[in-house]
Amino acid sequence: MNIAVIGAGYVGLVTGACFAELGNHVTCIDVDEQKIKNLQQGIVPIYEPGLDAMIASNAAQDRLHFAMNLNEMSMLPNIIFIAVGTPSDETGLADTKYVLRAAEHIGASLNDYCVVVDKSTVPVGMADQVAAVIQRELDKRVSPIVFDVASNPEFLREGNAIDDFMQPDRVIVGLDSARAKQILLDLYVPILRHPERLYFMNIKDAEMTKYAANAMLATRISFVNEIALLCEKMGADIEQVRIGMGSDARIGPAFLQAGCGYGGSCFPKDIRALIKMSEQHGVDPLVLNAVEVRNHLQKQFLFNKIKQIFGEDLSQIKLAIWGLSFKPGTDDMREAPSLVLIEEAMQHGAHMMAYDPVAMPHARQIFPQTWLASNQLVLCDHQYDALKEADALILVTEWKPFCYPDLAMMKHLMRRHLVIDGRNQYDPKQLRAAGFEYYGVGRG
Ligand SMILES: NC(=O)c1ccc[n+]([C@@H]2O[C@H](COP(=O)([O-])OP(=O)(O)OC[C@H]3O[C@@H](n4cnc5c(N)ncnc54)[C@H](O)[C@@H]3O)[C@@H](O)[C@H]2O)c1
């Protein structure tokens, strides 16, 4: 098939590369000229395991192209995916202006029937707006071309995106046209080892499914974080409790790890958008509000622990931070718990040395240059460099290289042998036996 993907970000690039890998001809379109130029030269703007190689091999096979405009495609597309960002607007709702601009561009460029598929996470009812904008642009050209709009929300996880895309648990497609259904069936059936996991439904049902799924996962995280706080006060260990809870077949173990809160480009903005949508439609979002408030507080957990241990004035304190990305496997730092910790510690005068296996280039752009120039925040080249003379190590992101730290080296490098484990990654008994003070999240 001939496919266009509008938006060459995380979702767009993974979608484009994977469909090309399956033998389709794909063009990824983006308004960011530099991004497109870089991609044409094989420079991939994000870190995602396996993505660079997949893009390179499909570009070399002439199946994957990058352009700024649909008109640059050599063949007319059968399917156009919209995979642009839908960040929060100032009210908390999803900002749909990028989706609507993409729709305008489609309407202005369409030369034959095609299915326009919303992959971006969009408010319920957005497909109708996308269709109206495309039709408006076609009318301007007095064009008789027909098209269909479908919703195909994306569920990939950054850090595991290619596997998630190639072996999805399920694919959700919302549509109301038999012609579009056949095209999407042909597109997806080769990916699905269990074709019954391709769920067709109404468009609005598909749009809502994405928000509801993210909200459910965020709810589990906030719930377990709240239980962890209670465990800490009452002498129970959340690590045992979550295993006990998760072994109940009705509950299951996924998304029950206590930690320093969820971040990333999806959960926070999608929960905010769902809260706003609820309010707009007269539904009091009691559960969703609680999920968000708990997460906001949980992101302050690590800094509160530091204050408990060192007091308010941190000007003589050096903190080592392992992990900056919002989760392992990605360089994405959007709404990462590390940002909250570093900001708070900065305001209290702490000196920080931070290391992340892949997010350092992003970190250099994100943090204010004044912090870096003054050396109050030092971005280190190696995980053990961050420990020199440190009064505490704070594990924020559970990257694999942090799993089995060299405890002897840590003792040698650190001024105070103190570990604050924001992901309950370490065995408290082992660390204490090695002479470390240890604090986890909800560990009695
Ligand atoms: N990142 C994830 O893990 C993930 C997972 C599932 C769903 N989603 C959803 O997918 C959507 C895309 O997310 P993302 O993380 O890939 O975003 P992103 O910010 O990484 O990329 C979006 C891209 O769209 C481009 N763009 C914006 N307007 C454009 C236009 N009019 N024409 C062409 N390109 C345009 C931007 O330049 C950018 O490169 C969002 O709605 C998000 O909620 C994201």
Fold of 2-201: Rossmann fold (3.40.50)
Catalytic site positions: 266
As to burial, measured by CB atoms within 10 angstroms (0-12 exposed, 13-18 middle, 19+ buried), residue 7 is buried
The pair of three-digit structure tokens given for residue 421, joined into one six-digit string: 């484990």
Q: Taking the chain, what is the end-to-end CA distance rounded to the nearest angstrom?
A: 56
DSSP state for residue 88 in the 8-state scheme: B
User: Which atom of ligand 1 sits closest to the CA of residue 35?
Assistant: 39
Residue 420 DSSP code? E
| Type of residue found at 6 | I
Where in the chain are the domains? 2-201, 211-297, 299-439
Cα Rg of the chain (Å, integer): 24
Locate 174 and state its tokens: 């919302």
Per-residue confidence (pLDDT) for residue 191, from 0 to 100:
87
> What is the overall mean pLDDT for the chain?
97
Please give the distance, rounded to the nearest whole angstrom, from the Cα atom of residue 44 to the centre of ligand 1: 15
In three-state form (DSSP H/G/I as H, E/B as E, the rest C), the secondary structure along 182-201 is HHHHHHHCCCCCCHHHEEEE
Residue 403: how many other CB atoms lie within 10 Å = 9
Q: What pLDDT, on a 0 to 100 scale, did the predictor assign at position 192?
A: 85
Cα(301) to ligand 1 centroid in Å equals 30
| Residue 404 Cα to chain centre, angstroms | 26
What superfamily does domain 211-297 belong to in CATH? Answer: N-(1-d-carboxylethyl)-l-norvaline Dehydrogenase; domain 2 (1.10.1040.10)
Kindly list the distances between the CA atom of residue 55 and the CA atoms of 133, 177, 381, in Å, as whole numbers in the listed order. Answer: 32, 32, 27
Question: Ligand 1: which residues within 6 Å by Cβ?
Answer: 6-12, 29-32, 35, 83-86, 98, 101-102, 120-121, 154, 156, 158, 265-266
CA-CA-CA-CA torsion for 72, 73, 74, 78, nearest 10 degrees?
A: -150
Do 2-201 and 211-297 fold alike per CATH? no
Mean pLDDT of 336-347: 97
Angle between helices 126-140 and 203-234 (to 10 degrees): 140
8 A C-beta contact, residue 210 and residue 171: no
Helix (H, G, I), strand (E, B) or coil at 416: coil
At 167 the pLDDT is: 93
Compute the distance between CA of residue 403 and CA of residue 444 in angstroms, rounded to an integer: 22
Q: Cα dist. 397→141, 329, 441 in Å?
A: 52, 10, 13
Tell me the pLDDT tens digit for each residue of 172-231: 999 999 999 999 999 998 888 788 889 999 999 999 999 999 999 999 999 999 999 999
Domain covering 299-439, topology? Rossmann fold (3.40.50)
pLDDT digits (tens, 9 = 90+) for 125-142: 999 999 999 999 999 999
State the distance from the centre of ligand 1 to the C-alpha of 164, rounded, in angstroms.
17
Coil, strand or helix at 368: coil
pTM over the 0.85 mark: yes
Distance CA(10)–CA(31), nearest Å, equals 15
